[in-house]
Amino acid sequence: MKNWPLWEVFIRSKNGLEHRHCGSLHASDATMALENARDVYTRRMEGVSIWVVPSAQITASNPDDSAELFEPAKDKAYRHPTFYELPDELKHM
């Protein structure tokens, strides 16, 4: 069990919505990861679709680089589309 790799779990809660990361779990193979994800994360009807991805396959940004990666965006309010009027029919924006 200690040797079981870690998997990241993504659940789509409703048709039309995107898969969202909801947690991680241990499993020896992809089939087991899917079954475990079903049992651990969709017991209360949370999902209509599951993705599992080996955690080792995810390349993450380094927190030490946060300053150069994210801070330059801070003072560029004009990049936010807050100046547009959205029609009421448009949901999930």
Measure the CA–CA gap between 36 and 33, rounded to whole angstroms. Answer: 5
Distance of closest approach, residue 9 Cβ to other proteins, in angstroms: 11
Pick between residue 44 and residue 80 the one whose CB is nearest to other proteins. Answer: 44
Measure the CA–CA gap between 38 and 50, rounded to whole angstroms. Answer: 8
Q: How many residues contact other proteins, by CB under 8 A?
A: 15
Contact with other proteins (CB under 8 A): which of 29, 48, 58, 66? 29
Angle of CA points 33, 8, 73, to nearest 5°: 165
- Verify binding: residue 27, other proteins, rule CB under 8 A: yes
Q: Which helix (H) or strand (E) holds 8?
A: strand 6-12
Q: What residue ranges bind other proteins (CB under 8 A)?
A: 1, 4, 25-29, 31-32, 35-36, 38-40, 43
